[in-house]
Chains A and B, each alone.
Chain A
């Protein structure tokens, strides 16, 4: 029975379907076992007892030196499955999405980040979240580009020696986000970071490490700089001996808090690093901006309000917040008034469009690109005179974006090089087709 129920469900988990270019070679029983137990519990096909037995098997297959009690482990898996179950994963063949792991010490704010960014919880409500003191895995898969896998790993569990199989975990991971509580004593977190980085680096040297210095809302600007300098310094001192030879492990640091948009922006930065052909997106948006007289253009992932690309000019936090709010507004309206949609659908499509005129002679334009993506532009009121040109250019850009997207999705390791050469071609055709209104 267990084997039957495993088969179709593994696919929905990140464990079994690493993209080939991330160097995944063989599945490991342990992770499959865990995934199976999660999936079983979520599907309710197995009794709880069955879940426990499979968990025991998994534990015995692992190192098992400092195992948490079996009971707690099984509840952990059930808890994880419960949240995974709510996200209603479609059982479609997997897309090749890079995966992001969110890790950190207990009470550093991972669950809050997860709830705020992916589940639209209001930041104030996160106060009432219970602390997840057990390992909890949550897959967020309704984002079009990135597969998020949030792992709450408490401090007493060693990532590398306990029940995790590191090679398996890290091989398919694009980036690891390590959350550090800036208001707490972060020495232990830095030590833990070192262990994590060295372990993950040995398995997969291409993992990007991002450190979120979290909960900075309670700090003044000076303190923020101070904390970031201090953490950077300490972490770099610790990490300097991990890289072999000349190779230096680069870790990026972000100051984040769930009480403003910095957490979204930090995630945006992380995601952008994982997207192939980022330059192509950027160029497209740049061409679009230049030809249509736009101040700023963002390509948003609607569900998470993460911007996947923007034009090269520096991002202003206020503008970004404005665009986020606009997306919230549009999504809210569409979910309320769209008819016949399923409740978990966003009601967002490539036909969605909206424009908001602000009283400071700024106009916000939103155009859907596909089910997950939206293009949000900021422009001056004067530029709206040429709305026809903007519309025409947008159609062209959307075609270009979709071409790049299909390129990316049909990408596999064998033809990666070929597709790289296709992107500029796609760009050029879009560029040539754009009208700048001068003609």
Chain B
């Protein structure tokens, strides 16, 4: 009967109920508190109806070990007899109970009727203090001297000296905590035993010196409400753990800073339910146990190293809340709950949630591909098996591509299903991989020519760089610092680094290309989109008519609108063509709902198509989901990693393969369409569109067909209605024509539109993307520099310039730059160094290097007065002619050679002649040194 079954697992390690107070309906449950002697020999358990002291004996004979509890009969009888006589205190709930660490026979408790009791179990005598005006919350002994502290709801903290005469029942000190906020907890510091911390319900934590009752040493606001606090038992860590029951958090504060007032907030553990009590696990510095105040009957042990999941959960208290617990040792935990059970837990019997977590991970590689891996089945709870297997990638045959867009890069989605494990790049899964995990890797891959596919390469980047003088000089001479576009320069530099076998450097270039090359393209796309939205804006003058039309069109409801956005998105796939963009905007006008969304999508640029897709996706079910996937593909056309992220969400779903096929096929179609084909050239929109969709379904892949079917019906339906409402149709076709005119105008003058709309806001998606990836870029830079390769990093810095300002400390960049310049100098690559410095406009300190020591101040040779302009003496009194040759005493024309020491000089020929024989100045005899 002593064993407990939980979650179908039998606890054999020693977790067992050691005592049961048998609360039932006739004797209602109450809060029980538990106190453990420091020597772990006696346990006191107290509550409203319970007051018991147990002896805790170690079981040496049992194989499982552990402890057993036995009643100590000497005390309770005696005590209870007394209590009946003159103590009404025991009838009210005991709020906190504690053993004295210095004198093991002393036991103190506070009660909710404002009293504090101290009991000497040897003498069977107790003392009572009544100083508080409201319920006592916490009692605590000084670690070495017989002092007792108690705190109360009335906001007071009293200190009692137990050495005082027994008749005396007053406190020896009152700490003025300031106001009447309930003080919920006290704990003495393990580092300095004169210090103790108090936690108030208002969230204030105060640290007091017990010798100073006037003013706390520190007082600061930590959390919304502090209900429990505990100093770290290891005095090396000057940490205080505080539990907050309002926010369900445990905060870890670091007091070790030498600066007096600075308290560092180390960590916050987010618990599931309001925290009632925290206790550090002895001998395990990073573990802390907590119980919940409401809603939760478990004891959690958190590991500070990974606190998103509890390290262990003890869920043996099935009846009611755990109200008191303490660690008997690092492996044994004694707890008591409102259910009246005292349970001894063995640490290894705790439930480990981490065993049941599905390993999954997501990684973005420097080559622009994104990998997500996820286990497809629940793992057996066997953490010991950890096998890492090599990744095998299967690639599907490339989807046929009929036509390559002129500018836009094409993205294909390859679905690689392999046996996972992890490479070094695949950090998440390396950490969590256990046994065989089936992983799905979705990769967005960028190709520049049809049929060429980069696969994800999981190569370890930490190989030693084959760095030699030759490659350094080669790179220094051929790295380009500027060019027509960032992507072009990056590509050039990438080729260079890859050609030399510098994989890490090449990686960096590719990463830079991914991170920042995007921006430029997005900018271009945005300008195109803006032009489109301009057309839309002007078209919205005719909005009433359009809304009439929209009423007809939107009859199909959400699915239609979603599929509408599918087609518009796929039509907009070649984002470099403004026409197609405007078509998407135009189509979007047809639906009132889609209007706003796609208008938004259009205005946020090519990448913003995914925003519209997201909106469409949210409006309707399955179609829209595919739709979102499609759109994110077309979004990744512009290297939009955000869209890639959305796609990753899709990739988590099971039908990645379908999606992939759909996107690849549909995408090829859409890009193959010549946009002008389905523009409304004949002024009869219905037929034109029908034609388009007939084409689309003829060549499209199956999912796309599906998505177009309702749409087709819709458009077929339209002419009938149009006949019925001829007048309206005329209005509408009028507006079509107007739009068409707009488009034609726009076609004729795309550059103007671009210029006009270029400065307008950048797509927010792209901005976000940049922020995300630039962090990766700087990380890669740091890594590369740590490998000892500053050259590429410095060059990349120059190339990126201000774009890294947020992420990269200027002083760091400066250091890199200066060390690279030093290296260049030591290789006598002065030209390259000068070019580098010249390009360093964003680092003023470096950029000024080229200007340092480039100006020479001149002094008049005659009067040693600084020259003003050229060689002319600034002093008006000085009548000396400038540039006088000391040999021939004529004014020099042509080359003038002079000594900076004495300012005497003359004709180049004369002086060269002179100095070939002499080493002193002909005029003044000062020695002249020609040494460089």
Contact = CB atoms under 8 A, between A and B. Distances in A.
Interface of A: 208, 221, 224-225, 228-229, 232, 246, 248, 250-255, 273, 278-279, 282-283, 286-287, 290, 293, 311-312, 314, 316-317, 319, 382-383, 385-386, 428, 431, 437-438
Contacts of B25: 382, 385-386
B28 interface: yes
CB-based closest 4 A-B pairs = A312-B135, A293-B28, A250-B179, A250-B178
Contacts of A221: 224, 247
8 contacts: A225-B221, A248-B176, A273-B180, A278-B133, A283-B113, A290-B92, A293-B29, A431-B88
A157 B215 CA distance: 35
B740 interface: no
B214 A246 contact: yes
A286 B214 contact: no
Contacts of B220: 229
Contacts of B222: 225
Nearest to A248: B178
Given A279-B133, A279-B134, A317-B246, A383 B28 contact: yes
B214 A282 contact: no
What DSSP secondary structure best describes chain B's contact surface? Answer: loop
A225 B249 CA distance: 13
B36 interface: no
A255 B26 contact: no
Contacts of B29: 293
Contact of A290 (B48, B134, B184, B214): B48
Contacts of B135: 279, 282-283, 286, 311-312
Given A250-B178, A255-B224, A316 B28 contact: no
A256 to B, nearest CB: 12
A369 B95 CA distance: 28
Contact of A279 (B49, B154, B247): B154
Interface of B: 25-30, 48-49, 88, 91-93, 95, 112-114, 133-135, 137, 153-154, 176, 178-182, 184, 201-203, 214-215, 220-225, 227, 245-247, 274, 293-294
A432 to B, nearest CB: 9
B202 A253 contact: yes
Contacts of B179: 208, 250-252
Residue among B28, B134, B225 facing the most chain A CB atoms (10 A cut-off):
B28
Nearest to B246: A317
A312 B28 CA distance: 19
A428 B202 CA distance: 31
Contacts of B153: 282, 312
Given A279-B133, A312-B137, A316-B245, 19 more contacts: A208-B179, A225-B222, A229-B220, A232-B221, A246-B214, A252-B179, A254-B202, A279-B135, A282-B134, A286-B92, A290-B30, A290-B93, A290-B112, A312-B112, A316-B293, A317-B246, A319-B294, A383-B28, A428-B88
Contacts of A273: 180
Contacts of B133: 278-279
A286 to B, nearest CB: 5
Residue among A229, A282, A428, A431 facing the most chain B CB atoms (10 A cut-off):
A282
A229 B114 contact: no
Contacts of B91: 431
B180 to A, nearest CB: 6
B28 A437 contact: yes
A286 B91 CA distance: 11
Nearest to B135: A312
Residue among B176, B203, B274 facing the most chain A CB atoms (10 A cut-off):
B203
B134 A278 contact: yes
Contacts of A250: 178-179
A365 B135 CA distance: 24
Contacts of B137: 312
Residue among A229, A314, A316 facing the most chain B CB atoms (10 A cut-off):
A314
Residue among B93, B154, B221, B224 facing the most chain A CB atoms (10 A cut-off):
B221
A116 B201 CA distance: 25
A219 to B, nearest CB: 12
A252 B221 CA distance: 11
Contacts of B114: 279, 283
A311 B92 CA distance: 12
Given A250-B179, A255-B224, A437-B26, A316 B274 contact: yes
A209 to B, nearest CB: 9
A316 B223 contact: no
A278 B201 CA distance: 17
Contacts of B95: 312
Contact of A252 (B28, B154, B181, B227): B181
A251 B219 CA distance: 13
Contacts of B214: 246
A273 B223 CA distance: 22
Nearest to B245: A314
Contacts of B225: 314
B109 to A, nearest CB: 14
Contacts of A283: 112-114, 134-135
Nearest to A228: B221
A299 to B, nearest CB: 14
A252 B294 contact: no
Contacts of B26: 437-438
B547 to A, nearest CB: 31
A398 to B, nearest CB: 19
A273 B176 CA distance: 16
B178 A438 contact: no
B95 to A, nearest CB: 7
Contacts of B201: 314
Nearest to A292: B28
Contacts of A311: 112, 135
A286 B113 contact: yes
B93 A286 contact: yes
A405 B133 CA distance: 18
A286 B28 contact: no
Contacts of A290: 30, 48, 92-93, 112
Nearest to B265: A225
Contacts of B178: 248, 250
A123 B225 CA distance: 25
Nearest to B178: A250
Contacts of B203: 228
B221 A229 contact: yes
Nearest to A287: B92
A319 to B, nearest CB: 8
A221 B221 CA distance: 13
B84 to A, nearest CB: 13
A312 B134 contact: yes
Contacts of A232: 221
B105 to A, nearest CB: 29
A313 to B, nearest CB: 8
B261 to A, nearest CB: 10
Contacts of B227: 314
B92 A225 contact: no
A251 B178 CA distance: 8
Nearest to B274: A316
A48 B725 CA distance: 66
Contacts of B223: 225
Contact of B112 (A251, A286, A382): A286
A428 B91 CA distance: 12
A148 B433 CA distance: 63
A293 B27 CA distance: 9
A423 to B, nearest CB: 11
Contacts of A383: 28
